[in-house]
Amino acid sequence: MKKMLLGSYLYLEFQKMKKLTILTLIFSFFLISCTPNIAYIEPEIIGKIYNLDDNKPIKNTAGYIAFYLNDNKENYITTNRDGGFYLAPHTEKYFFIKPNLRELYMGTGQIYIQFEGYKSKIFDYTNFYQEQNPSPNPDAKKLEKVNIGVIYLEKE
């Protein structure tokens, strides 16, 4: 009789452990899938904006600098005292299922620049990108940085 009770008790404990193990696995799966991942669609860009006529920086001036043409206020950047600017990388967050990079990547290797009183400019940074980031990044998991140097804008 004691053996039967002991066997039943062990069986019930085994069932509890089995359920606990399954719940732990499910919880771990959800925890892993809820951790955000980042796909870097466009690189981080730094550079300087200069006036073509006098070869001086266009300093402390707000202007439009972006990877895509739209009118988002987030794309209006103020240059610093040296005419320098920082363009944040274009990213896409995802959790468990990785997005289709071919659908997301509309990049042309160009940035669009517009400052009041100056002609708009489309600047191709692909040569700088290839020189400064020689290793491939096919999964877009690595943040890439590009220093494009000085861009000269012509007055209107």
- Please report, for residues 61, 79, 153, 154, the alpha-carbon distance to residue 120 in angstroms, rounded to integers and kept in the order given: 15, 16, 8, 8
How many residues would you count in the chain? 156
Return phi, psi of residue 58, to 5°. Answer: -90, 90
Same domain, 25 and 100: no
Same domain, 6 and 75: no
Q: Is 87 exposed, middle or buried (0-12, 13-18, 19+ CB in 10 A)?
A: buried
Same domain, 30 and 61: no
Same domain, 55 and 16: no
Same domain, 48 and 105: yes
Same domain, 140 and 66: yes
Query: Residues near 129 by Cβ (< 8 Å), separated by ≥ 6?
Result: 43, 109, 144, 146
Same domain, 31 and 43: no
Instruction: Give the residues across from 109 on adjacent strands.
Output: none
Domain, as residue range, for 120: 39-153
Q: Which two tokens stand for residue 16?
A: 């509890």
Residue indicated by tokens 């877009």: 140
Same domain, 44 and 7: no
Residue 116, SS3 per DSSP: coil
- The answer to whether the beta carbons of residues 101 and 140 sit under 8 Å apart is yes
Same domain, 89 and 117: yes
The CA distance from 59 to 83, in Å, is 4
Q: pTM for the full model?
A: 0.71
Same domain, 1 and 44: no
Domain count for the chain: 2
Same domain, 56 and 82: yes
Q: What is the mean pLDDT of each run of 10 residues along the chain (156 residues)?
A: 55 72 73 74 93 95 88 83 93 76 70 94 92 78 90 95
Supply the pLDDT for residue 80.
96
